[in-house]
Amino acid sequence: MPKKIRRTLSLGLLLFSGSLLVWASLPSPHQVLTQTISPPEMQLPSSTLASIPTILETRKVVLEWPGSLRIGDTDVISLVFEPIQNEAVASSAQGKFSDIYNNYNIMAEARIEAAGVRVNPANPTRESMPSGHTVKFKWQVNIEQTGSYQGNVWLSLRFLPLDGSPASQWPVFVRQVDIHAISIFGLSAAWARLLGGVGILLSGLIIFDDMISLIRKWLSRQN
């Protein structure tokens, strides 16, 4: 094969394979949502007491998820439920609410519902939530087919009476998340990495003799 054709072929293969590797290696773009949850939104549901039990601290939800995901890749959806420092019930409302922790243990429960998306863990996850503590949830997600996928992330509070009465549960946050599963030439991320690596290796083999010749010339000049 003529030298010029070999070099052109090697360069084209190098550029194509490098593009595959770059596409398959770049981190997926993430979206972040922050939402404040006030004490009235965390009160005991259907309470008929004069002083309504609630969590006497303002909290925020920080939800992060991949806006797009290469098929075959695994990424993470995370949810953090944390208190906002120095923010509590306003003094004008102190008489209306009482601290729910006086009579209840609180657990936070989170789950994801997303058809066509492989989610791990698939079942709802619960974490104990003492007063002033942050709770965190993480899910690994994987998609096998290209397309747009919608799912819902739920966060609920589970109220466990200290006197052994039946528990109650109340959703405090629901958010729809959209994930776009993408591909290149129908390839998954793993195949794109493999073909990109093999292509770069082949591009080097095609001009191997030229590279050896250049090295020999350089060595001879050094001597």
pLDDT digits (tens, 9 = 90+) for 75-87: 999 999 999 976 5
| CB neighbour list of residue 38: distance below 8 Å, 6 or more residues apart | 58
User: For the segment 46-101, what is each residue's pLDDT rounded down to a tens digit?
Assistant: 655 557 888 888 999 999 999 999 999 999 999 999 999 765 555 445 557 888 99
* Helix, strand, coil distribution of the chain in percent, nearest 5: 30, 40, 30
Q: What's the rounded Cα separation, in Å, for the pair 103 and 169?
A: 15
- Asked if residue 66 lies in contact with residue 30, where contact means CB atoms within 8 angstroms, the answer is yes
Please choose, from the candidates 205, 222, 212, 171, the residue with its C-alpha nearest in 3D space to the C-alpha of residue 61: 171
Structural domains for the chain: 3-19+189-222 (no CATH), 28-182 (2.60.40.10)
Q: What's the rounded Cα separation, in Å, for the pair 196 and 42?
A: 51
Please choose, from the candidates 223, 78, 54, 55, the residue with its C-alpha nearest in 3D space to the C-alpha of residue 153: 78
pLDDT at 15: 87
